[in-house]
Amino acid sequence: MKKWLVRLSVVVIAGWLVASATLFPAMAISVGENPVTETPAELNTYYEDIRVTSEGGIELAGWWIPAQNPRAVLLFSHGAGSNRTSWFLPSLEFYSYLAQQGISVITVDMRNHGNSPKTTGKLGMGAAEWPDALAMAQWLDDNGHTGLPRVAMGVSMGGATSIYAIKRGLKVDALVLMDPALNTRDALAQGGWIQFGLPPLLFKPYAWSTTAFWGLPSGEQDASAQAANLTLPTLLIQDPTDPITRLPFAQALAETNPAIELAVAPVTAAEDQCLAGKGRWGSHVAAFKCHPSWTKQMLMQFFTEKVFEQPLGG
């Protein structure tokens, strides 16, 4: 009986490791259908449908949301498996608020997401999507939207996307990160728990193999390492109980890089209505929805001090 249990254990462990190297990575980096079904018009916010040409001639679907009296332009990058209308943020309300504050917005569905073309149908955790952030800047140049400060912003995977884009030539005056994906392996392991409810430790082999063999970044190529020596003003808004892009990585990056201002959001209770329907995703990218006044204060303080050429009211 004991030998039989040992053999069964060996088979189960071997099977789990094989799945961790093959099945789980393929599932994790595949992007499902997630079309855009809402527009800023639903909040009475003016916008224009645009097409943005990215690397390889990919035509990305996007929006240009001009403020009436613009003082800055924000280039917004969404998270993994999402699109420009992410309800985690929620994006439409966020764009409307920015436009009211004199901040124009350009945003697109990244490759393999939303209404943009499927190329590989897979996630790159920012390492494949960064050309799409550069493409937004090129669209602004090509359409005469120059002369104002530019701010890159990304949530979750979009934070990593913005970091990679800046390291590869995106010219902006400031950066805003919201619960950014700084450590790919940790986010993947935590994502396993979110999807299946099993301890994250069980998903460490899959997280390692996904970065080792499936092209996702890790180590010196991870977003945290790439952001360690950025010199532009950066606001990093972090939900303290975010279960997937976790606080310790944001804290470590802010301690490493003095250009990064870390703003830790108030704790959101698990039973708070603002988290309804999110399941184990919990407070991931929840600050704007759950603590709007605090988040707006952090944002506008940063824009006033670091971005706008003149203080508000000046």
All domains of the chain in start order, with CATH: 1-30+188-221 (no CATH), 39-183+226-307 (3.40.50.1820)
The interaxial angle of helices 2-21 and 204-213, nearest 10 deg, is: 40
Q: How confident is the model at residue 71 (pLDDT cuts 50, 70, 90)?
A: very high
pLDDT at residue 214 is higher than 90: no
pLDDT at position 179 over 80? yes
d(CA 40, CA 93): 8
| DSSP letter assigned to residue 33 | -
More confident call, 96 vs 31:
96
> Given this model, what pLDDT does residue 7 score?
64
User: What is this structure's pTM?
Assistant: 0.94
Which residues share a beta bridge with 150? 73
Q: What is the share, in percent, of the chain residues with pLDDT greater than 70?
A: 91
Using 50, 70 and 90 to split pLDDT, how confident is the model at 17?
A: low
* Secondary structure (H, E, C), 84-113: CCCCCCCHHHHHHHHHHCCEEEEEECCCCC
pLDDT band of residue 138 (cuts 50, 70, 90) is very high
Percent of residues, the chain, with pLDDT higher than 90 = 80
What does the pLDDT read at residue 313? 34
Residue where the block lists tokens 């679907």:
61
For the chain, the average pLDDT equals: 92
Mean pLDDT, residues 44-48 taken together: 97
123 vs 112: CA distance, rounded Å: 8
